[in-house]
């Protein structure tokens, strides 16, 4: 999910919300039987109903295990998929949005661009996603400055 879309919006997405990618052959684009404008993008192929909360949670569990980010938990069952994530962190579908916004900030994308792309405010990004790290900011803050060795700056002391 390299889009920053909210999980709730992803679940409600319909075919009318996207444009056709003509760079992919028609054979490869056979994704769903249900392609009318008002059909859900992610739906049961027999009933055309949107996936249930259980399906979304189970699919995330499958993704985490298949990508080796976690293992099936001891108390896992087919009724309630349980994954023990290696990092110990709780990973949800929303984690992908958080990761997307954080990585765009680290890549230097301006906050107004990220805010517009993810349909949120600049203030919200600053309060919830921006993690200031001095070690990552030193280079850009020093850009254009003429930094001289300390000995050069301290000659006036006379003992250097």
Burial label for 48, CB within 10 Å (0-12, 13-18, 19+), is: middle
Task: Determine the pLDDT at residue 64.
Answer: 92
How far is residue 86's CA from residue 89's CA, in Å, rounded to a whole number? 8
Mean pLDDT of 21-40: 75
Task: Determine the pLDDT at residue 30.
Answer: 65
**Phi, psi for 81 (deg, rounded to 5):** -70, 130
Q: Of 45, 41, 43, which is closest to residue 33 (Cα–Cα)?
A: 45
Better-scored residue on pLDDT, 137 or 94: 94
Task: Determine the pLDDT at residue 12.
Answer: 92
Q: What pTM value is reported for the model? A: 0.68
Task: Determine the pLDDT at residue 158.
Answer: 67
- Give the tens place of pLDDT for each residue, 79-136: 677 899 999 998 999 999 999 999 999 888 999 999 999 999 999 999 988 776 777 6
Mean pLDDT of 41-53: 88
Sign, CA torsion 106/108/109/114: positive
Task: Determine the pLDDT at residue 31.
Answer: 67
What is the tally of helices (H) and strands (E) in the chain? Answer: 7, 2
Q: Of 98, 100, 126, which is closest to residue 111 (Cα–Cα)?
A: 126
How far is residue 57's CA from residue 79's CA, in Å, rounded to a whole number? 11
Task: Determine the pLDDT at residue 123.
Answer: 95
Cα angle: 61, vertex 8, 67; to 5 degrees: 25
Which value, in Å, is the radius of gyration of the alpha carbons in the chain? 24
Contacts of residues 35-42 at CB distance under 8 Å and 24 or more positions apart, as own/partner, are 38/14, 39/14, 39/15, 40/12, 40/13, 40/14, 41/13, 41/14, 41/15, 41/17, 42/10, 42/11, 42/13
When mean pLDDT is compared across 34-43, 46-55, 110-119, 141-150, the lowest value belongs to 141-150
């Amino acid at each position: 999910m390299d889009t920053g879309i909210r999980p709730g919006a992803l679940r409600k997405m319909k075919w009318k919300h996207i444009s056709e990618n003509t760079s992919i052959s028609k054979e490869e684009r056979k994704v769903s039987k249900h392609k009318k404008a008002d059909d859900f993008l992610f739906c049961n192929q027999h009933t055309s109903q949107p996936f249930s909360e259980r399906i979304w949670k189970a699919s995330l569990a499958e993704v985490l295990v298949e990508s080796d980010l976690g293992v099936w938990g001891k108390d896992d069952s087919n009724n309630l998929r349980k994954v023990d994530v290696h990092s110990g962190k709780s990973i949800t579908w929303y984690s992908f949005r958080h990761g997307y916004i954080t990585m765009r900030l680290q890549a230097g994308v301006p906050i107004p661009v990220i805010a517009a792309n993810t349909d949120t405010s600049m203030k919200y990004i600053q309060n919830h996603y921006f993690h200031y790290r001095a070690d990552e900011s030193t280079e850009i803050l020093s850009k254009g400055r003429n930094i001289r060795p300390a000995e050069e700056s301290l000659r006036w002391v006379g003992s250097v």
